[in-house]
Amino acid sequence: MKGNNAYLFAAYAVTWIIHITYLATIVSRYSRLKREIGNLRKNR
Amino acid sequence: MKRLFPILGVVTAVLLVYALYMALIWAPTEQTMGNVQRIFYYHVPSALIGFMLFFVNFGASVFYLIKRKQAADIVALVTAEVGVVFLTVNLVTGPIWARPVWGIWWTWDMRLTSTLVLWLIYVSYLFLRRFSSSGETPTLAAALAVLGALCVPFVYFSIWFFRTQHPQPVMGGGGSIDPRMLHVLLINWLAFSCFAFLVCWSRYRLEVLQREVDQAHALESLMAPRGSVR
Say whether residue A36 is in contact with chain B using an 8 A CB cutoff. yes
Q: pLDDT tens digit string along A1-32? A: 456 899 999 999 999 999 999 999 999 999 99
Candidates B39, B87, B119, partner chain A, best to mutate (most A CBs within 10 A) = B39
Residue B192's pLDDT band, with cuts at 50, 70 and 90, is very high
- For every residue of chain A, which 3-state class applies, written as one string? CCCHHHHHHHHHHHHHHHHHHHHHHHHHHHHHHHHHHHHHHHHC
Exposure string over B113-140, b if 16+ CB within 10 A, otherwise e: ebbbebbebbeebeebbeeeeeeeebee
Mean pLDDT of B158-174: 68
Q: pLDDT tens digit string along B215-229? A: 988 888 888 776 655
Q: pLDDT tens digit string along B140-155? A: 999 999 999 988 888 8
pLDDT of residue B75 exceeding 60, the answer is: yes
Domain tally for chain B? 1
Say whether residue A10 is in contact with chain B using an 8 A CB cutoff. yes
CA distance A42 to B209: 17
Residue B217 lies in a domain: no
Residue B197 lies in a domain: yes
Residue B216 lies in a domain: no
Residue B106 lies in a domain: yes
More confident residue, B155 or B197: B197
Chain A residue with CA closest to B213: the answer is A37
Residue B185's pLDDT band, with cuts at 50, 70 and 90, is very high
Residue B172's pLDDT band, with cuts at 50, 70 and 90, is low
Q: Which residues of B touch A (CB under 8 A)?
A: 20, 24, 33-36, 38-39, 42-43, 46, 85, 88-89, 92-93, 96-97, 99-100, 195, 199, 202-203, 205-206, 209-210, 212-213, 216-217, 220
Residue A43's pLDDT band, with cuts at 50, 70 and 90, is confident
Distant-in-sequence, close-in-space partners of B117: CB < 8 Å, separation ≥ 6? B151
Contact list in B for residue A7 (CB cut-off 8 A) is 36, 39, 96-97, 99-100
A6 to chain B, minimum CA–CA distance in Å?
Answer: 8
Domain that holds residue B27: 4-209
Q: Do A37 and B209 touch (CB under 8 A)?
A: yes
Report how far apart, in Å, the C-alpha atoms of A9 and of each of A2, A14, A15, B39 are.
12, 8, 10, 9
Contact list in B for residue A22 (CB cut-off 8 A) is 85, 199
Residue B177 lies in a domain: yes
**Do B159 and B13 contact (CB within 8 A), yes or no?**
no
Phi-psi region of B56 (alpha: psi -120 to 50; beta: other; left: phi over 0): alpha
Query: Which ipTM did the prediction report?
Result: 0.92
Residue B229 lies in a domain: no
pLDDT of residue B36 exceeding 90, the answer is: yes
Q: Do B99 and A7 touch (CB under 8 A)?
A: yes
Contact list in B for residue A4 (CB cut-off 8 A) is 33-36, 100
Contact list in A for residue B225 (CB cut-off 8 A) is none
pTM for this prediction: 0.92
CA distance B119 to B14: 30
Exposure string over B167-204, b if 16+ CB within 10 A, otherwise e: eebbeeeeeeeeeebeebbebbbbbbbbbbebbbbbbb
Mean pLDDT of B181-202: 97
In total, the C-beta contacts within 8 angstroms joining chain A to chain B are 78
Q: What is residue B170's predicted lDDT score, i.e. its pLDDT?
A: 62
Residue B226 lies in a domain: no
Q: What is residue B226's predicted lDDT score, i.e. its pLDDT?
A: 64
Residue B203 lies in a domain: yes
Candidates B24, B53, B96, partner chain A, best to mutate (most A CBs within 10 A) = B96
